[in-house]
Chain A
Amino acid sequence: MKKSRRNEEAPRQNGSTGRGRAGQRQNDEVQAGPEASRAGLPEESDDNDLGRRREIRSKYRDLINTVQQNREDMLSPATDKLTEVLEEANKLFKDVRRAREAALDAQLLVVATDLGKEKASQLFSEGSAFDPTAFAEHLLSFMGLNRLEDGDDDPQNGGGADGYLPRDAWHRLSRRAECCFRTAPSFHYMMGSFHAEPPAPKQKTERQRKAPSKEAKRIMPTQLKKMEESHQEATEKEVERILGYLKMYYEEDPTSPISYYEFVIDPNSFSRTVENIFHTSFLIRDGLARMYLDGDKLPCIAPVEEGDIEAASSSSRKQCIISISLKTWKELIDTFEIKDSIIQPPESQNE
């Protein structure tokens, strides 16, 4: 069947499809493009034909790869590689009969033309050339690059033996480049904008003297009236529960200090973290736990021994306010690599 179809083919001609089936494209048949003129070819057997076609396609793909992989090489005005590829393609095209190979030829043409266009744009022949590499070198000098003579010193901004850029390198450049821009200065209200969020919860963890603490205790009953019964009990329960966690954690290893942040932070919920801080502050206020700074000046927390509770209440107390923001919370999680919360969330809490 294939053979008979081929018999019907008119010898290839330049120009458009002048065949009886005007413009209708059958499966695999296509007219050659206007580039190549050729006489009618001798008949070939099916197998040879397929093999030959496969070879052609493979060669085309090689050419396309060559152009794509060796882009930099071919762009250089010193080589004629692009011309060689095109000549190679021309030779290949003489044997192209079917759409599939022609499509590959077209693809190669696209890739080659693209490269050609870029080569042409390199020929900014009038006037001086502009070399981005030289430009970068000049900029580095302008920005105050410190070219070290020996690579002894620690490279700071990734310079190594090439020297390091000072911290204000980009500021220096920006200052000079400012005059090229006619940027409208940004408009900001002088007093800043109104921040609509409520202030972050401030927790007073310890009282300095007994008197203020009495005041606090006096305040508590008034708050009680405002709050529902269940609220107050829930807080007490929470505080006790947290004390339990603290003691349990502490007993596991009494010698190693418990980092305060690791204790209170719940990496899964910012709101629970804040609640933990709130409840922990009651422990401290009541003298059931103590906070101190360890050798690295990081806050740590530990339960107070049974016998010490009375003594602690009479000694001088310090007071501090802890605040935490969403951003700080995230930073703490990253810094301390907190994966789970020590204080498990209560089951009864609905999200």
Chain B
Amino acid sequence: MTHRKRSFGSQSFSQNRRQSSSSGTQEDHEDSMFTQPSTSQVLRGLENLTPAQVDQKTSEVIQYLLVKDQKKIPVRRADLVKHVVKDYRNVYPEIMKRAARTFEQVFGLKLVEIDSKHHTYILINNLEAADRPPPVQCPANPKLGLLFVILGVTFMKGGVVRENVIWNTLKKLRVDSGEKHEEFGDVKRLVTEEFVRQRYLEYVRIPHTEPMEHEFRWGQRADMEVSKAKILEFMGQLHEQDPQSWTQQFREAQSSSSSQR
């Protein structure tokens, strides 16, 4: 938090701080010090750097994002700039553009900004899941099943659901939020902290409730990563019903898949 008085590399930003268009957030000290440079500034910055330097910096950003993605916790722009981009911040947009392209073309991943206010990024798979099972199967992560249950119920219930509904459903599946589960350990912590931090879920307090209650919603990562249509399809299989019979959910799934493109 002592960066306030620092001058950035070759470009001085004092005159540009006035034209802050994208850095609306004041919560993040470090991020508010970073104003998105304009196109002309980027061009000027690129003139002072060799292509090899920019490529190198892009690679560093890519590696940083790939490793950070292991925990599935979103990456903040502030951290990215502070730890990796550093003196190259004046060409930040160019670096991000190249990184996104590399992700798409080399890794088949998509770099997505899930929070335009706080500028956080996640990586999702750009490729559609194949219809046939893959030739090499890595062991399935059981947490995915748990997440599916919660997201599925929330979706079928209209997108918002009181926490009790989820806890009761899980209890029927032998997952008790009050006890330590064989597979998941501390379920409450997993669901209300880890999944929330990963942005799969939102766990929001309902005002005026005594004792305090919360509701679950889909998180920003789930919105991008999870296919409502596929969830509905699986629901249909489980209930032996036509997915279209849930008309409202079906409509919601259709509109959401078009927005995910």
Residues of A within 8 A of B (CB): 68, 110-111, 114, 118, 121, 124, 126-128, 130, 132-140, 142-143, 157-159, 165, 170-188
Contact = CB atoms under 8 A, between A and B. Distances in A.
Contact of A132 (B66, B126, B169, B245): B169
B66 A177 contact: no
Interface of B: 66-67, 69-70, 72, 109, 123-129, 137, 139-149, 152-153, 156-158, 160, 162, 165, 168-169, 172-174, 182-183, 206, 208-210, 224-227, 230-231, 234-235, 238-239, 241, 245-250
Contacts of B146: 170
B248 A110 contact: no
Contacts of B157: 121, 124, 130, 132
Contacts of B124: 182-184
Contact of B226 (A126, A158, A173, A180): A180
A127 B234 contact: no
B234 A136 contact: no
A187 B69 contact: yes
Main secondary structure of the interface of A (DSSP, over half): helix
B210 to A, nearest CB: 7
Contact of B66 (A118, A176, A180, A187): A187
A126 B174 contact: no
A179 B129 contact: yes
B225 A130 contact: no
Contacts of A159: 174
A182 B231 CA distance: 12
A177 B148 contact: yes
A188 B146 CA distance: 24
Contacts of B206: 114
Nearest to A133: B172
Contacts of A136: 169, 172-173
Contacts of A186: 69-70, 72
B142 A127 contact: no
B169 A188 contact: no
A228 to B, nearest CB: 43
Question: A-B pairs with the 10 shortest C-beta distances?
Answer: A127-B247, A173-B145, A177-B148, A136-B172, A170-B142, A174-B140, A174-B145, A187-B66, A130-B156, A180-B230
Contacts of A171: 139-140, 142, 145
B227 A180 contact: yes
Contact of A128 (B129, B137, B209, B246): B246
A187 B72 CA distance: 11
A171 B143 CA distance: 9
Nearest to B162: A118
A140 B169 CA distance: 11
Given A130-B157, A132-B153, A179-B129, A188 B248 contact: no
A138 B66 contact: no
Contacts of B162: 118
B34 to A, nearest CB: 25
B241 A128 contact: yes
Nearest to A64: B210
Given A68-B210, A124-B158, A165-B174, A182 B250 contact: no
Nearest to A173: B145
A183 to B, nearest CB: 6
A158 B171 CA distance: 11
A127 B70 contact: no
Nearest to A125: B248
B146 to A, nearest CB: 7
A130 B169 contact: no
A170 B183 contact: yes
Given A128-B241, A135-B152, A182 B234 contact: no
A349 to B, nearest CB: 37
A184 B123 contact: yes
